[in-house]
Amino acid sequence: MSWYLFYFIIYFGFLFGMGFWYFFRVKGSDDYLIAGWNMGYWSIVGTIISTFCGAAVFIGWVGMGFTVGMSGFFKFALPAYIFTLLLIVLFAKPLRRQRLYTLADLFSERFGSKTGIFPSILSAFIYSVPTLALQIVGMSTVFTLAFDMSFNAGVIVSFALILGFTILGGLPATIITDAIQSVILVVGIIMLFIASIMYGGGLKEILATTPADYLTPFGKEGVTAVLIYALSVGPFYLIWQSTWQRIFASKSEEVARKAGITAVIIGALISILPYGIGVIARGFVPSDINPDLIFSYVTIELLPPSLGGIILVGLLSALMTGADSFILQGSSNLTKDLYARLIKPDADERQMMRVSRWSVVIISVLGLIVAYNITDIITIYQWALRLSAVTLVFPFLAVMFWKRVTAMGGLSSMILSATITIFWPFLDMPIDVTIVGFTVSLITLIVVSLLTQHSKREKVHAVYFEDFIQSDEDVHERS
């Protein structure tokens, strides 16, 4: 326990030192929420890797490897990285040139401010709050295993640490610490993977004793099931605001694209390892264990505290970076989309900063409440991803590529597809909810847009084509 305490004190001392440093340096809401549009290559690489590798990687993905095998990587992780790569390669430049903060911002600029309310609420409360809760629960698990702390006490301590750091430094502190934490994260997961192989008797022994279904890309479920699952996860990453924030925070279009591509490649390679750890753990972990506890169990059982402490710090760093990113995502929605656009468009910087920090508190408290009710990390995470993707992906693509889309078409598509996605599982129908949701979204978007006219509030253009000819310099001059 003394090793764990030593590492934790060093880690959180560094973290809050950076938080206080940026507390006195951040002067406005642009700095606080979007890092002043001025982050460099390695900072962006590190923060994207760290944000991807939160509770889902260290806890959920290890548990998925234990439960279904390596097919988990192909149906969950790989689709996420592929669609993130598409976002960066296709949309980083045109999105940066919009000089925006959130997806709802994009809809508000194109359709009028009221249309941005729905995606803003969806992003802040349906995605940010439950995914923040996952990070809180993950940190509580670490404190429980390391210090024999009760679940309730661990949740409160985790909440206090996450809220304290996020409210101090905002996105600049998050990105800089993410870059450093990504190194700890990568080293930690590699160490645990190697230790798992050694404890499992070597690679040859593991391959010989592991059922083939756990080593193949499609496992027991088959190609169709894996592809449907991938469809329910992957498209969300086109509209994942955490990646959008990193694109906007980059100091140039070139940095946004190159750093993003580098981070996706590294992240994809690293993400194979948690699934491998889960598969290997089948040989020595109790078969009735809760899959969400396997990562921590393996760390405590396989490694001495002097090494296990490093792994746990890697886990904490992943959870912290995910938590503050999700809080700031929700904070951006509340501050920029709701307060600045709808409540007080003429707000000055002092008011914007005050609202930014209060919105951090609101999102954090809601995450704390949800954390007490979480039972299945992967299921909840997938539900949030599916609902967000089905509701927002086609309207986003329409804004980028289709000039004819109308505000009524976009809003109808979002509301109807969200309703179908929520209630379809209760109908006990054989067709997967993801397929139904995307179909309803696309058909509604096209039909309603063709039957309605553009409102006076709309800026009628296809964002991708009309703004792609501008440069970063043009955007800075315009702003």
- DSSP for 428-475 reads --SS-HHHHHHHHHHHHHHHHHHHS---TT---S-HHHHHTT--HHHH
Query: How far is Cα 242 from Cα 265, in angstroms, rounded to an integer?
Result: 17
- Kindly report the backbone phi and psi dihedral angles of residue 39, in degrees, each rounded to the nearest multiple of 5, phi listed first: -95, 145
DSSP 351: H
pLDDT over 90, % of the chain: 20
417 — pLDDT class (breaks 50, 70, 90): very high
> Is residue 324 within 8 Å of residue 332, measured between CB atoms?
no
State yes or no: pLDDT of 378 exceeds 70.
no
- Kindly report the backbone phi and psi dihedral angles of residue 345, in degrees, each rounded to the nearest multiple of 5, phi listed first: -60, -25
Who contacts 441 (Cβ-Cβ below 8 Å, separation ≥6)?
390, 391, 393, 394, 395, 413, 414, 416, 417
Domain boundaries, the chain: 2-389
> Is residue 107 within 8 Å of residue 261, measured between CB atoms?
no
> Is residue 406 within 8 Å of residue 112, measured between CB atoms?
no
Query: How far is Cα 238 from Cα 208, in angstroms, rounded to an integer?
Result: 39
Q: What is the pLDDT of residue 464?
A: 86
Q: What is the pLDDT of residue 87?
A: 94
Quick: pLDDT tens for 19-62.
777 666 666 555 555 555 567 888 788 878 877 776 556 677 88
State yes or no: pLDDT of 364 exceeds 80.
yes
Query: How far is Cα 441 from Cα 383, in angstroms, rounded to an integer?
Result: 17
State yes or no: pLDDT of 329 exceeds 70.
yes
Average pLDDT on 463-473 reads 58
Quick: pLDDT tens for 138-153.
888 788 877 888 888 9
Query: How far is Cα 413 from Cα 440, in angstroms, rounded to an integer?
Result: 7
Indicate the pTM of the whole model. 0.81
Query: How far is Cα 352 from Cα 345, in angstroms, rounded to an integer?
Result: 10
pLDDT over 70, % of the chain: 88
CATH architecture of structural domain 2-389: Up-down Bundle (1.20)
Average pLDDT on 252-264 reads 90
Q: What is the pLDDT of residue 81?
A: 93
CA-based end-to-end distance of the chain:
53
At 421, which amino acid appears?
A: T
Tell me which of 355 and 447 has the higher pLDDT: 447
> Is residue 333 within 8 Å of residue 123, measured between CB atoms?
yes
Q: What is the pLDDT of residue 410?
A: 92
470 — pLDDT class (breaks 50, 70, 90): very low
> Is residue 440 within 8 Å of residue 416, measured between CB atoms?
yes
Radius of gyration of the chain (CA): 22
Tell me which of 24 and 233 has the higher pLDDT: 233
At 395, which amino acid appears?
A: P
Average pLDDT on 61-71 reads 89
